[in-house]
Structures are given as structure tokens and as C-alpha cells.
């Protein structure tokens, strides 16, 4: 079925292009908005994989909460006004600053993983006729088999909240 | 699904690779935080792909992804709080300028 290939191709292109723009965008607020677009299209791929619950969480947590929090932190502080002055540098310094090594590391890693997936022994076809995983099943498993990790995760969130408040509170005598 | 499994797996690996590239080249701390989120997103994509293709009736994969998202949210809030504190004390967000312990 070509519609599947087509929709996956469009979503993958949007994801990769916006992730690339996160790296290369000059303004940090633009980078945050490109990051939100990347998260949204990954949520579309989750929908293609028939994981509605995770797709909704992706939009809520990543595209909603984390992007908003980063933009708030940029806007409410003086990060926005800090400018990087261009400085004179030699050719070797520019090569190092342009991050050629980092590009090579990132892309070699991605190419290596794709190669490993391609040649590995894993079956390439999906399990036929999957029963749809409903939110009810996920919730039932979460509150029976994974109760303790769930509580640990909530304690982690509570500690993160307290830590963020303590770290950003102004010290008063 | 007729889509071969290495298409979404390759997309996850590429997303992780772009995040790694950005985290290694950029020195702005807020931007490094964004790239960590991008890398975690690629990992989530891998998890969901394996869940869909091999264990579609098992709820363990979505739950593991849920925990990854929880840790990502906690890490983003703590990281931003630390960055705001660095900005308040040093007036910079460039991670290579924060080198007081450098020998």
C-alpha cells in the first residue's frame, strides 16, 4: 500500500528537516518552535504505529509542556539578550568551531544503527492482525504490574518540582 | 503494517544522530537541553516501533515510553532551573565559559 509509504515519507521529512533547523536556526526561540514541529510530526508517526495513547502524550508533554517551559525560561530571563560576538579566528579554529567532527560522529552513528537494523536477523514484517492496544489495557497494566515504578515516577516528579522551586528562588535574609 | 521495520527504526536513529550532532557542536546550554529532548524522542520512536511490530498486544512498551517521558520532563525542569541560576550568577549561557573548576 503506497499511502503508508507516502504518509511515512512526509512525516519523516518534516521530522528530519525541523530537527536540522533546530541545530542551524540562529535565534533560540526559532529553534524552540522548530523543536515543537519535530515533536508534533513524531506524534504523527506514533499515530501511524497505532499508539494513540503515546501520540496524545507526545503532543501534551513534549510539544505542549516542555516547549512552553523552554520558551518561558528564554523569555523570562536575560538569555535572549545575550549575544555572541563574532571573533577573529584562524582557519583551524573555524573548522573546529564548525563541528565537522560532531557532524561525522552523529551521522556515522545514525548510519551504523541503520546498517545494523538492515542486516540483522530481525523479521522485517509486522505481527499479523494485532489487537488494538486500548488506553484501558495500558492503565490496567500500569496500576497492577507497574504500581511501584509508577509511584517512584510520581516521587521523581515531586522532587523535580521542589528542586526547581528551591534552585530558582531568590535568597532572602 | 507493510512498511518495513527499518524505516521507522532508521528515522529514530537519524533523529538521535541529529540530536547528538547538535549537542556536540552547540555551546548554548538551553539548546543542548533541546537536543537531549530530541535524542530521547528518537529513543521513544524506537521503543514504539518494536512494540508495534513484535509485541502489539503487550502494554509494557507504552508504559516504558511513559516513564521515559516522565524522566525527560523532570530533567528539563531541573536543567532549566540550573541554567537560570548560572545566568543569574555568571551572566552567560555558554557552557564553555562556565569553567571555574578548570585547572
- For residue A56, the Cα-to-chain-centroid distance in whole angstroms is 14
Residues A109 and A173 in one domain: no
Q: Give B 8-67 residues with CB within 8 A of chain A.
A: 8-11, 13-22, 24-26, 28, 30-31, 33-35, 37-38, 41, 44-45, 48-49, 51-60, 62-63, 65-67
Confirm if A59 and A14 have CB atoms less than 8 A apart: no
Question: What's the average model confidence in pLDDT over A139-168?
Answer: 92
- Residues of chain A with Cβ-Cβ distance to B41 below 8 Å are 38-39, 42, 62
* Range with the poorest average pLDDT among A103-117, A126-140, B58-72, B73-87: A126-140
Residue A47 vs residue A25, higher pLDDT: A47
Whether the pLDDT of residue A83 is over 60: the answer is: no
Q: Does one domain contain both A29 and A65?
A: yes
Residues in chain B within 8 Å Cβ distance of A125: 4-5
Domain identity same for A151 and A111: no
**Cβ–Cβ below 8 Å for B24 and A113:** no
Residue A103 lies in a domain: yes
Look at residue B25 in the predicted model and tell me its pLDDT. 82
B contacts of A118 (beta carbons < 8 Å):
6
pLDDT at A92 over 70: no
SS3 B38: helix
Q: Are residues A25 and A54 in the same domain?
A: yes
Q: What share of chain B is helix, strand, coil (3-state, %, to 5)?
A: 75, 0, 25
For residue B28, list its beta bridge partners. Answer: B94
Q: Which own/partner contact pairs does B88-91 have at CB distance under 8 Å and 24+ positions apart?
A: B88/A77, B91/A78, B91/A82
Enclosing domain of residue A141: 131-173
pLDDT at position A108, please? 82
The Cα–Cα gap between A112 and B10 comes to 10
Please report the pLDDT score of residue B26 as a whole number.
81
B36 pLDDT more than 90? yes
Query: What pLDDT is recorded for position A84?
Result: 52
What is the model's pLDDT at position A24?
A: 84
Say if residue A89's pLDDT is above 60. no
**Structure pTM?**
0.84
Interchain contact, A131 vs B57, CB within 8 Å: yes
Q: Give chain A's domain count.
A: 3
Read off the pLDDT of residues A132-151 as tens digits, 9 standing for 90 and up.
677 888 888 889 999 999 99
Please name each of the domains of chain B with its CATH number: 6-90 (1.10.287.3510)
Q: Residue A44: its pLDDT value, please?
A: 93
More confident of the two residues A116 and A164: A164
Contact A62 B16 (CB under 8 A): no
Helix (H, G, I), strand (E, B) or coil at B60: helix
CA B28 to chain centre: 16
Note the pLDDT tens digit of each residue in A46-80. Answer: 998 888 889 999 999 999 899 999 998 888 776 66
**Would you state the pLDDT for residue A172?**
64
Q: Looking at the domain assignment, is residue A86 inside a domain?
A: no
Residue B52 has pLDDT above 60, yes or no: yes
Flag if B34 and A153 touch (Cβ within 8 Å): no
Q: Considering only residues A104 and B32, tell me which one the structure prediction assigns the higher pLDDT.
A: B32
pLDDT in tens, A93-133: 655 656 677 677 777 877 887 787 777 777 766 666 556 67
Share of chain A above pLDDT 70, in %: 77
Task: Reduce the secondary structure of chain A to three states and give it as a string.
Answer: CHHHHHHHHHHHHHHHHHHHHHHHCCCHHHHHHHHHHHHHHHHHHHHHCCCHHHHHHHHHHHHHHHHHHHHHHHHHCCCCCCCCCCCCCCHHHHHHHCCHHHHHHHHHHHHHHHHHHHHCCCCCCCCCCCCCCCHHHHHHHHHHCCHHHHHHHHHHHHHHHHHHHHHHCCCCC
CB contact under 8 A, B7 and A35: no
Report how many Cβ contacts below 8 Å link chain A to chain B: 238
Residue A67 belongs to a domain = yes
Query: Are the C-beta atoms of A99 and B24 separated by less than 8 Å?
Result: yes
In this structure, is residue A151 part of a structural domain? yes
**CATH number for position A24:** 1.20.120.1200
ipTM above 0.95, yes or no: no
* Confidence band for A13, pLDDT divided at 50, 70 and 90: very high
B68: contact with A, CB 8 A cutoff: no
Q: Which residues of A touch B76 (CB under 8 A)?
A: 66, 69-70
pLDDT of residue A86: 52
Q: How far does B44 lie from chain A, in Å, by closest CA?
A: 9
Contact between B68 and B61 (Cβ < 8 Å) = no
Amino acid at each position: 500500500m503506497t499511502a503508508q509509504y507516502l504518509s511515512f515519507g512526509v512525516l519523516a521529512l518534516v521530522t528530519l528537516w525541523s530537527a536540522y533547523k533546530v541545530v542551524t536556526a540562529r535565534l533560540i526561540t526559532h529553534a524552540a518552535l522548530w523543536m515543537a514541529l519535530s515533536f508534533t510530526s513524531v506524534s504523527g508517526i506514533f499515530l501511524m504505529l497505532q499508539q494513540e495513547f503515546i501520540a496524545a502524550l507526545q503532543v501534551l508533554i513534549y510539544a505542549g509542556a516542555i516547549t512552553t517551559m523552554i520558551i518561558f525560561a528564554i523569555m523570562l530571563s536575560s538569555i535572549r539578550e545575550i549575544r555572541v560576538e563574532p571573533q577573529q579566528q584562524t582557519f583551524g579554529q573555524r573548522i573546529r568551531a564548525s563541528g565537522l567532527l560532531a557532524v561525522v560522529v552523529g551521522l556515522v552513528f545514525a548510519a551504523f544503527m541503520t546498517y545494523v537494523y538492515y542486516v540483522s536477523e530481525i523479521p522485517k514484517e509486522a505481527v499479523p492482525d494485532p489487537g488494538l492496544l486500548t488506553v484501558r489495557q495500558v492503565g490496567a497494566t500500569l496500576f497492577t504490574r507497574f504500581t511501584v515504578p509508577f509511584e517512584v515516577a510520581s516521587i521523581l516528579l515531586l522532587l523535580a518540582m521542589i528542586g526547581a522551586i528551591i534552585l530558582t528562588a531568590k535568597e532572602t535574609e | 503494517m507493510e512498511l518495513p521495520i527499518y524505516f521507522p527504526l532508521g528515522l529514530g536513529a537519524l533523529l538521535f544522530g541529529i540530536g547528538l550532532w547538535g549537542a556536540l557542536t552547540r555551546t548554548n546550554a538551553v539548546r543542548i537541553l533541546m537536543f537531549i529532548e530530541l535524542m530521547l524522542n528518537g529513543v521513544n520512536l524506537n521503543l514504539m516501533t518494536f512494540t508495534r511490530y513484535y509485541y502489539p498486544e503487550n502494554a509494557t512498551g507504552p508504559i516504558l515510553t511513559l516513564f521515559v517521558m516522565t524522566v525527560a520532563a523532570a530533567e528539563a525542569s531541573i536543567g532549566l532551573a540550573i541554567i537560570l541560576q548560572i545566568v543569574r550568577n555568571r551572566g552567560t549561557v555558554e557552557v564553555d565559559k562556565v569553567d571555574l573548576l578548570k585547572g
